[in-house]
A and B are shown apart, each in its own frame.
Chain A
Amino acid sequence: MTLSGQIAIAGAYEHPTRFAPDKSESLIMAESARGALEEAGLRLADVDGLFAAGISMGPMGVVNLAEYLNIKPRYLDGTNIGGSSFVAHVSHAAAAIHAGLCEVALILYGSTAASSAMAIGTGLGGGGRDPEAAFVAPYGMTTVGSYALVARRHMHLYGTTPEQLAEIAVTMRQHASLNPEAKMQKRIDVADVLESRMISTPLHLLDCCIISDGGGAVIVTSLERARDLKQPPIVLRGCGEAVCHQEIGSPDLLTIAAKQSSEEAFAMSGLSHDDVDLCTIYDSFTITLLVTLENLGFCKPGEGGAFVEAGRIGLSGALPVNPDGGGLSSNHPGMRGIFLVIEAARQLRGGMGERQVDGAEVALVHGTGGTLGAIHSGATLLLSRD
């Protein structure tokens, strides 16, 4: 009955755009669908499951998207749990395929966050007239500020330094310098990060992800069918989801959803941490990546600062993370989870040139959605070569 080893990613396409004032979200999604279907050797008519989430998609967004694509899938999933949604869509699609409710699932994301000048990081707060939001809205919690609350607590308890956080941004930029499609390719050093403008202490501008346009598509199907398609199948070995918040009981702010979701994914997969050759981890901010590594179990709570030093998460390190340059340097069109899945699949297929992780057999994908210091979701996948 287990999902593990039954389902595969058969298509993974990242839209090359980083700035697309001439395109709509739907168009970016449709062009991404074209790219993924072409590389998989499938046609639009083969798609019978549609999965999508977006910043501007309304409550019936996935229905409108089916109309835009002129398809009539028999399975629809518009789950939106923040930027991690597309990681969760893979496991939802796997369950639906395993249950026989669809066979070829298309997962889409598209966004014009940059060209429509969304102030994702520091434009929130104020809260409008929602009584439920009134307990946060008066205080001006920005997205950056929410993550900064986590970073400050981590520094206080464990002595984590701004230099250690900066090391993460430097490594992501090194990776991006090898990715011709990355938005930010110019190498930086720790001093550049520390000298960049303070946004919300202790997070500087270069501790924060960039804002870009972009989108992507992932195709999920049975492993059996994937073996007949054009790309080497990337097999789903384990998955998990979780939610975390700061409500009743004063929970530990540094225990995040990644702990629960990754424990479930590892248990399902039968794999251990030593089996993992690379990770793609949502790096909305440097602290996000650091605290996620701890909660995924790659190091103990409090050891994340030392863990990311000396190039350990670099391409030639013991645990390469985000070979594409991540949200800190490659692209971040508002909700980045789909690129975590795409880059993991591409790396496992191989042939990624200068940024290829040598001998990549197993990848861990982890997406965070929402705001880490307030309410957030987490979704983990373990993927492997066939």
Chain B
Amino acid sequence: MAKQEIEYRAPATNWQTRGFWEGCGRGELVLQRCGDCGTVQHKPRGICASCLSSALEHFVACGRGRVYTYTVTHQNNMPGFRDACPYVLAYVDLEEGPRLMTQVAGCEPDAVEIGMAVKADFVDTGDGLGVPRFVPA
């Protein structure tokens, strides 16, 4: 029986990324869309990495996606992760397009499959910030 509980700590932020982590603190997945070329990008930047426009807007994504690939981590010797093994590291493709590296929790590691529908779940890390992981939808 897996404990699966990574000890999430408050993420390091800067002015480009703080909006994303504050969104997670409110239970919202905030993405950037370029006002000029329409590209949705993640991770957040101070510029559109597709056309170099500065006209970025933020919006709340639906939080749904599918597992693109995953691995069940059986060994990680770092504090905060060692006792969480086995835990699932995954890429999730969001409905809005971007791919996120994340954890899939809320089910046995062996139950995770590529293509599985998942939804965002937010771990409060204090000070109005949070970290997103995903659980079965």
A interface residues (Cβ-Cβ under 8 A, vs B): 119, 122-142, 144-145, 148-153, 156, 197-203, 246-250, 253, 373-374
Contacts and interface: CB of A to CB of B under 8 A. Distances in A.
A145 B73 contact: yes
B12 A126 contact: no
A156 B69 contact: yes
A194 B33 CA distance: 45
A142 B73 contact: yes
B101 A140 contact: no
A200 B74 contact: yes
A144 B99 CA distance: 20
A106 B116 CA distance: 51
B3 to A, nearest CB: 13
B114 A153 contact: yes
Contacts of B50: 248
Contact of B74 (A127, A139, A197): A197
Contact of B75 (A136, A142, A151, A156): A142
26 contacts: A119-B77, A123-B76, A123-B77, A126-B80, A130-B12, A131-B14, A134-B12, A137-B11, A137-B12, A140-B76, A145-B71, A145-B76, A148-B89, A149-B69, A149-B71, A150-B69, A153-B69, A197-B75, A198-B74, A200-B89, A201-B71, A247-B43, A247-B49, A248-B39, A248-B40, A373-B91
Interface in B57-80: 68-80
B78 A125 contact: yes
A250 B97 contact: yes
Contacts of B99: 246, 250
B109 to A, nearest CB: 8
Given A127-B12, A201-B71, 14 more contacts: A129-B12, A133-B12, A138-B6, A138-B9, A139-B89, A139-B133, A140-B78, A140-B89, A197-B74, A199-B75, A201-B74, A246-B99, A248-B40, A374-B101
B41 A248 contact: yes
B49 A248 contact: yes
Given A142-B73, A201-B72, A250-B98, A123 B78 contact: yes
A246 B100 CA distance: 9
Contacts of A132: 17, 43
Contact of A139 (B6, B17, B39): B6
A206 to B, nearest CB: 14
B71 A140 contact: no
A246 B91 contact: yes
B47 interface: no
B84 A131 contact: no
Counting chain A CB atoms within 10 Å of each CB, the highest count among B14, B16, B76 belongs to: B76
B99 to A, nearest CB: 5
Contacts of B90: 149
B105 to A, nearest CB: 11
A145 B12 contact: no
A201 B110 CA distance: 10
A136 B69 CA distance: 15
Contacts of A149: 69-71, 89-91
Contacts of B28: none
Nearest to B81: A140
Contacts of A133: 12
Contacts of B43: 132, 135, 247
Nearest to B132: A138
* Nearest 4 A/B pairs, CB to CB: A148-B71, A153-B69, A140-B81, A134-B11
Contacts of B80: 126, 140
Contacts of A128: 12
A216 to B, nearest CB: 28
Contact of B81 (A125, A197, A373): A125
Interface string B98-115: 111111000000000010
Given A123-B78, A152-B114, A156-B114, A134 B13 contact: yes
Contacts of A144: 75
Contacts of B103: 138-140
Given A131-B12, A135-B101, A250-B99, A153 B74 contact: no
B31 to A, nearest CB: 11
A129 B9 CA distance: 11
